[in-house]
Amino acid sequence: MQARALAKYLRVSWRKVRKYTDLVKNMSYKEAHTMLKLSPSRGANMLARVMESAVANLIAKNKNIDEDTVKIESVIVNEGPVLKRWKPRARGRADRIRKRTCHIEVVVSGEEIKK
């Protein structure tokens, strides 16, 4: 059985989150979650939170899911809209500040407990 979670418009650059996608693909949930929580990056923390949501969605769908068998099927990180701001500089100039956002989608799967 599969479940997914989607987080949109997160205030972190998609490049900073995408570093961790290849590391957690096809890993068990517990290993991936531990690895991401130990990472100091904000992007890793946000990815871990979306993974927690996906697992909660899976358990809400089917109460007989064994949490030890939950596996990360896919992680997709896409670029979101860019918030453009201006910073005043010397001599009447202005620099552009680009605050990037991203969308994260996590798909997990798990097996039911055999009775």
Q: Which CATH number goes with the domain that contains 60?
A: 3.90.470.10
Number of neighbours of residue 75 by Cβ within 10 angstroms: 25
Q: Tell me the torsion sign for CA atoms 101, 102, 103, 106.
A: negative
Residue 19 counted as domain residue: yes
The reported pLDDT for the residue numbered 114 is 76
CA distance 56 to 35: 19
Count of domains for the chain: 1
CA distance 24 to 41: 15
The reported pLDDT for the residue numbered 63 is 87
Amino acid, res. 75 = V
Q: What is the pLDDT of residues 13-68, one digit of tens each?
A: 999 999 999 899 889 999 999 999 999 999 999 999 999 999 999 999 988 888 88
Specify the DSSP element, H or E, that contains 17. Answer: helix 14-18
Categorize the per-residue pLDDT at 115 as very low, low, confident or very high, splitting at 50, 70 and 90.
low
For residue 82, the SS3 value is coil
Range of the domain at 61: 2-109
